Structure 1
């Protein structure tokens, strides 16, 4: 078994991808990781759409200042909250976030780079209309995926003691 903390610490947002196509088996493993995230009442409110078609990805890319990331990716993962399956929006948003994190980590485990794009949500309605999403599906994330190209990035984080409340002893 791989060291999960090492995978967490070495995962980075990848914005440059090779031309290599993603294997279907790898995509399925990434989706499986998302499927197994925790959710309140086990309602599993997430829904996924994988877009590999370049023409459709290019149309989606037009809705964000970071469209070049989408255009360079081998695929994009659309993550939605199924509002018809939602029982508490706050809890369900956390569950979808956990699902996305699971998928990012599994992608890293498989050597696949990802970039969780947020700015595109400013045009979420346009993206949803382009994808012809059911009105019950609330777009929450677009994740670019592909094999990384370019140099590896280093990460940095605040010291643990800066994040602990009331001087906890765990710093």
Structure 2
């Protein structure tokens, strides 16, 4: 079991890169990453996440996912050896009632995917910039499922292969809001003291 500082360091090391090495990701590695997703928590243990995976070994499926992306994403994504369509099941199995937590639960599963991939030396870049209707049509996704994001996955590559604009984004320092902006204690707007937490 990793200690808490190791886990936090792993989380902090995650980056949404756009540069990918010309190196395939093995089937065993991909399976391990999705095994991490399988163990995510979910409301009523519904496990509403689904993943449609296409590697460059599957050119037809890979192209279908590329076709669903916005052009600005499509240009750089083509270097990624793996593309993943994330899909949420919109209703509970037990009674077909709408599952308002499905997208939250999908996020938990993707969090596991991110951390497992990062631990294995891979990078992921999630994109909302795609046309879900194209994905639905291309893959004949049933009506009770909704595409959420497309993820590019692979090993980190040389950012100098990107356009100048994307290189700037790739090399820019990461930024995060302070805890006091995100975590309130006692009442709305009372930010936690980061140096002396007042919980």
Superposition TM-score, scaled by structure 1 size:
0.88
Counterpart selection for 2:143 from 131, 135, 138: 135
Higher CA-based Rg: 2
Counterpart selection for 1:21 from 1, 24, 32: 24
Cα distance between partner residues in 2 of 1:42 and 1:88: 15
Task: Identify if the C-alpha distance between structure 1 residues 42 and 114 changes in structure 2 by more than 3 Å, giving closer, same or farther.
Answer: same
Deviation at 1:113, TM superposition (A): 1.1
SS in 2 for 1:19: coil
Task: Identify if the C-alpha distance between structure 1 residues 158 and 84 changes in structure 2 by more than 3 Å, giving closer, same or farther.
Answer: closer
SS in 2 for 1:167: coil
Where does the alignment leave 5 or more consecutive residues of structure 1 unmatched?
none
Deviation at 1:74, TM superposition (A): 0.5
Cα distance between partner residues in 2 of 1:156 and 1:98: 22
Looking at secondary structure, tell me which structure has more helix per residue.
1
Which runs of structure 2 are paired with 1:35-114 in the superposition (5 Å)?
35-52=38-55, 53-63=58-68, 64=70, 65-85=72-92, 87-114=97-124
Deviation at 1:88, TM superposition (A): 4.6
> Do structure 1's residue 168 and structure 2's residue 192 form an aligned pair?
yes
Cα distance between partner residues in 1 of 2:76 and 2:139: 18
Aligned to 2:177: 158
Q: Which has the higher contact order (CA 8 A, sep 6+)?
A: 1
Moved more, 161-170 or 70-79: 161-170
